[in-house]
Structure 1
Amino acid sequence: MLVEKNVPLQQANTFGIMAKALTLVRVSSEADIAAVLQDAGLRVQPKFVLGGGSNIVLTGDVKPLVLKVEIMGKRLVSETAKAWIVEAGAGENWHDLVTWTLQMGYPGLENLALIPGTVGASPVQNIGAYGVELQDRFESLDAVDLSTGQPFTLNAAQCAFGYRDSVFKHASKPGEASGAQGLGLAEKALITRVRFSLPKPWKPVLGYADIDKKMLQSRVSAPSALQIYEWICDIRRAKLPDPQLIGNAGSFFKNPTVSAEQCADIIQRDPKIVHYHLADGSVKLAAGWLIDACGWKGKSIGNAGVYDKQALVLVNRGGEANPVTGGEVMTLAKAIQTSVYERFGIRLEPEPVVV
């Protein structure tokens, strides 16, 4: 185990915010976690688990011990008549995993192509795009309790998946159990490996306007998994900035859900609002449309800006030489929240973790 001090994190977060970890340990195996917990000085420190840094806003130097997850590996665990069970280390790049599964002939993750971040972060956020969420393909995960060092496994029910939500985003309440029971695991566990159930027979998940447009352009009515993968990559590249070129954390706000009555009221005032009816009778609104309707697309506060092609994405306009600060990002985010609430009566909830 190598303990590093004052480690720059600008390259370790996709926003490109300049900050440093006061203490950092790279976790490439469960043995590294055990070594941390056996060290008298490190064991008692608060801990911050860092994956690909694609869903965080750093507002200053990180004082807790940073555990940089770098556990690698991809394999087919088993194959049944109903599914392929694929496992990946938490440090693997998510998009690389999606690409690998298709190359190996295990379709099912293609709609989630080009989502930034690591495999270990995917269940924390319950990532999703174009009709598929992580929970739809999830089998189980392995993790380590950062208090006791005990390994445990969680199934989908124990992960308590919700819209961009899981048990890993919530702290346990006083008197509530944690660890293997899967309750309140925020800052208490480090995910080491994730397993996915990729269903047989494979069926394409379609029905989104962007995908329908690709089908018409290509004159393909029954696309393969690889075709959908390539379409999703094209769609995302056209709409979203590449973090390697323009710092960002992807979609900054969750799409809010309202009642059918609330939606009808908004439609009376704004008939063009983009919305989706859900199975439970509620309606999901497009947060990007709400932000754009308030005039924020292309606007900036300091070096924090709203992407001119997609209002749901906040970007680093200062680049690497004069990077945005976490304070600027959050000032812009709060101004957007205020505008949307004043016009629509809806409170937007940020997706990234603010550190």
Structure 2
Amino acid sequence: MLPARLRTDADLGALNSLALPARAALFACLDSIDDIAEVGAYARRTACRRFVLGGGSNVVLDDAFDGLVLHMALRGRALIGEDGEAVYVRASGGEPWPEFVEWTLAQGWGGLENLTAIPGSVGAAPIQNIGAYGREVGELIASVEYVDLAEGTSHVVSRDDCQFAYRDSVFKQRGWHRDGRVLVTAVVFRLPKRWQAQLGYAGIADTLAEHGVASLATADARQIAKAVAALRQRKLPDPARLPNAGSFFHNPIVEAGHAARLAAEFPAMPQHRQGDGRVKLAAGWLIEQTGWKGRTLGPVGMYAGQALVLVNHGGARSADVRALASAVAHDVRERFSVELHVEPITP
């Protein structure tokens, strides 16, 4: 017998920001711990395939998924403690990320302002270790709470045990984000009381000036959040108007020797040296140099305003997305000998 929360042959078209037509054989919207326990037990009994769907902003859904899609909708956020250096805030996995960031700023807690307006859910943030404008979320996470759906057990892992790296975490390293094993139920954030602005990213200072902030030294967290939101709005299309999944490729990281050879051949190529000596390249710049910015392939294309963003101009399916991603990656590989890796995940 199916748990009350389960639906069959569910339409997922409205649950992914690329607006791809997709259906799931089984679907459950989970908004309580009891729901998670009941549906998780059913999944273990039946050994069905699982996929965890958060805000749907970082996925490429196939036309049909023959297993169980779990939509995380657990809500709640609260201050749970503080010490001399920080406040500790706990947010449930189904909290929409932009709303959560805005709430922390409204309470006077800085730290997450550079990550404002990123689509998605709190539960997805540590898995991807989302980052933008000089900040990664892993820097501000104290712990992550999750359920192992394969074992039916609950766990709490510290920031160190999450093994955060560029767009990476232990959850991705072990493949748990792809096989639907882990459901992040809550994240605890450590937000510093001695707040310091992160203003190193190009464009933030100019945007602050446009918003009437004359001196960077006087900018507060909410002003920076408004500047970041304005920058995102200029660069990235609104998924409600032009469906997309945000940045579609990771910025590739290459060995120093390879980067030096590229710099000699392409002096204008942006390069950012990493702590381990390797060099991060700008995927958007690489894509633009191969002529894909603003170019289409069938119903999909790379956005004219930002070459890193793949957009659905209408009627696209997952096969169209894969074809374009493959073509772009091929051309970048041929010209620069650099591999591009897709950022959104697929069930």
- The answer, yes or no, to whether TM exceeds 0.5 is yes
Q: Aligned equivalents of 1:169 and 1:187: distance in 2?
A: 11
Equivalent position of 1:336 in the other structure = 328
C-alpha distance 312-206 of structure 1, shift in aligned 2 (>3 A): same
Q: Aligned equivalents of 1:112 and 1:250: distance in 2?
A: 13
Q: Decide whether the 8 Å contact of 2:75 with 2:92 is kept in 1.
A: yes
Equivalent position of 2:74 in the other structure = 71
1:212 pairs with 179, 189, 205, which one? 205
Q: Aligned equivalents of 2:118 and 2:252: distance in 1?
A: 20
Report the CA distance between 1:44 and its aligned residue. 2.0
Deviation digits for residues 106-136 of structure 1 (CA, Å, limit 9, x no counterpart): 1110000011100000001000011110110
C-alpha distance 110-184 of structure 1, shift in aligned 2 (>3 A): closer
- Where do 1:1-355 residues align within 5 Å? 1-39=4-42, 43-171=46-174, 186-217=179-210, 218-222=213-217, 223-318=219-314, 323-355=315-347
Q: Aligned equivalents of 1:220 and 1:64: distance in 2?
A: 54
CA RMSD of superposed structures (Å)? 1.7
Report the CA distance between 1:280 and its aligned residue. 2.5
Deviation digits for residues 190-245 of structure 1 (CA, Å, limit 9, x no counterpart): 11111100012000011111113224544222211011000000000000011111
Give unmatched runs, 5+ long, in structure 2: none
Q: Aligned equivalents of 2:276 and 2:19: distance in 1?
A: 39
Q: Aligned equivalents of 1:22 and 1:28: distance in 2?
A: 20
Q: Decide whether the 8 Å contact of 2:41 with 2:152 is kept in 1.
A: no
Q: Aligned equivalents of 2:88 and 2:223: distance in 1?
A: 22
Q: Decide whether the 8 Å contact of 2:127 with 2:177 is kept in 1.
A: no
Q: Decide whether the 8 Å contact of 1:144 with 1:192 is kept in 2.
A: yes
Q: Decide whether the 8 Å contact of 1:36 with 1:43 is kept in 2.
A: no
Q: Decide whether the 8 Å contact of 1:77 with 1:87 is kept in 2.
A: yes
Q: Decide whether the 8 Å contact of 1:51 with 1:68 is kept in 2.
A: yes
Q: Aligned equivalents of 1:115 and 1:30: distance in 2?
A: 26
SS at the partner of 1:57? Answer: coil
Aligned length: 341
Q: Decide whether the 8 Å contact of 1:89 with 1:119 is kept in 2.
A: yes
Q: Decide whether the 8 Å contact of 1:167 with 1:186 is kept in 2.
A: no
Q: Aligned equivalents of 2:298 and 2:178: distance in 1?
A: 35
SS at the partner of 2:338? Answer: coil
SS at the partner of 1:354? Answer: coil
Runs of 4+ in 1 over 3 A off after TM superposition: 37-43, 183-186, 215-218
SS at the partner of 2:118? Answer: coil
Q: Which moved more, 1:161-170 or 1:10-19?
A: 161-170
Equivalent position of 1:180 in the other structure = none
Report the CA distance between 1:36 and its aligned residue. 1.6
SS at the partner of 1:97? Answer: helix
SS at the partner of 1:33? Answer: helix
Q: Decide whether the 8 Å contact of 1:75 with 1:87 is kept in 2.
A: yes
Q: Decide whether the 8 Å contact of 1:48 with 1:187 is kept in 2.
A: yes
C-alpha distance 186-161 of structure 1, shift in aligned 2 (>3 A): farther
Q: Aligned equivalents of 2:284 and 2:317: distance in 1?
A: 22
SS at the partner of 1:39? Answer: helix
Q: Decide whether the 8 Å contact of 1:36 with 1:42 is kept in 2.
A: no
Equivalent position of 1:177 in the other structure = none
